[in-house]
Structure 1
Amino acid sequence: MTNDPIEADPDGMRRAAHLFEAVSTRTNRILTNLEGGSPGEPWGQDDIGTKFADGDGDPEKGYRRGRDNMFSSVRALVGVLDENAVQLADGANQLEQADES
């Protein structure tokens, strides 16, 4: 381990935080549009439509399960992006406060 100084750019960290916020906002907007989707179920209620939507005896393989899992994953991603933005902005503030003291 060396004693080399660590350099940080608080303004750059804030710019990165804003980028994370922008990506989060856009991703959330896309997710909201996808979740709203079109009304109804275009695959129908016949045997083929039911197999497509709910899997052929295995709900894990159906469209609905995959769709719901994707929505859940993207919601989690939005949360991670938001948290990264907060952490970067907070870190920038803490670095500046440490330099001032």
Structure 2
Amino acid sequence: MEAFEADPLGIRHASQVTKDISTRVQQVITTLQGVVAATDGGWGNDDYGAEFHKGYGPARDSLSKVTTSVQQHLGQVAADEITAAELAEATEQRSAQNFGTPT
């Protein structure tokens, strides 16, 4: 059987990196939403503008949903990594209590 080893400090570091990425994605989403809100409809209300909006509107909405979902999942992964680090630490502490501290 292969040995299993968890590095709680490494997991916590990975969690912070994941959280930082999630935060950055949220900043990008917020910036893009501001730009879209400021320029939405800038293609005009004529036939060409209406035709453009037929493709653009659904694509814009879909991209917004997908990027928001990615950001939320990254935030959840970061939280789950913290939970994993805490569980690894608790397991290590129980093992040390039950078997003694390694020398």
The alignment's TM-score, normalised by the length of structure 2, stands at 0.85
Q: CA deviation at 1:7?
A: 1.3
Say which structure is richer in helix: 2
Q: CA deviation at 1:39?
A: 4.2
Where structure 1 has 5 or more consecutive residues not aligned to the other structure, the ranges are 55-61
Amino acid at match of 1:28: Q
User: What residue in structure 2 maps to residue 47 of structure 1?
Assistant: 47
Match of 1:25 among 8, 23, 26: 23
2:3 is paired with a residue whose SS is coil
Where structure 2 has 5 or more consecutive residues not aligned to the other structure, the ranges are 95-103
1:11-70 Cα offsets, whole Å, 9 max, x none, are 11100100111010010011011112224411000000000012xxxxxxx101001100
User: What residue in structure 1 maps to residue 79 of structure 2?
Assistant: 86
Q: How many residues align?
A: 92
Aligned counterparts of 2:34 and 2:18: Cα–Cα separation in 1: 24
Q: CA deviation at 1:100?
A: 0.3
Which segments of structure 1 move beyond 3 Å, counting only runs of 4 or more?
none
Structure with bigger gyration radius: 2
2:43 is paired with a residue whose SS is coil
Aligned counterparts of 2:93 and 2:6: Cα–Cα separation in 1: 14
Higher RCO by CA contacts (8 Å cutoff, separation 6 or greater): 2
Q: Considering only aligned residues, what root-mean-square deviation do their CA atoms show, in Å?
A: 1.0
